[in-house]
Structure 1
Amino acid sequence: MLVITRKKGESILIGDNIEITVTKVEDGSVKLSIDAPREITILRKELYKEVEEENKMAAEFNLEVIKSLKK
């Protein structure tokens, strides 16, 4: 893991085509802007985890429904 310090207006580059810029720092919160190609999916980690959990629960439920239909 890379840990770096950036100030408002400063950026980091990931590869050749993703740029993350610090746009605002206020009250313990940081606002970032992300410039990346449209084909790259960008999600907040907590949202990704929620979707992942819901998908797991849906898959488990579907298996139970299928098993009950078999009987």
Structure 2
Amino acid sequence: MNQKKDKKEKAAKPKVKKSGKYVGKDLKIKLPSGAEFEGLCIAERKIPKGGEQVFLKLTGPGVVSRYFNVEDIVD
């Protein structure tokens, strides 16, 4: 029974790519709340709901790395 549960959980996870359009580039993110972040993109992923996210290694004091939506990238 545990094997079935494990397979379902595994299928729901988004696939992470270590190469792509944004990987290796310095990006600037502006969230709808007005917060701005800057950092180096180290991975991309597609969300099952339909959308893309980028994982940034953020620069700045006390800021952790996290995923951001592609729509929030500022040119």
Report which structure shows greater RCO (CA 8 Å, sep ≥6): 2
More strand by share: 2
TM-score scaled to structure 1, two decimals? 0.30
Question: Rg: which structure is higher?
Answer: 1
What TM-score, normalized to structure 2?
Answer: 0.29
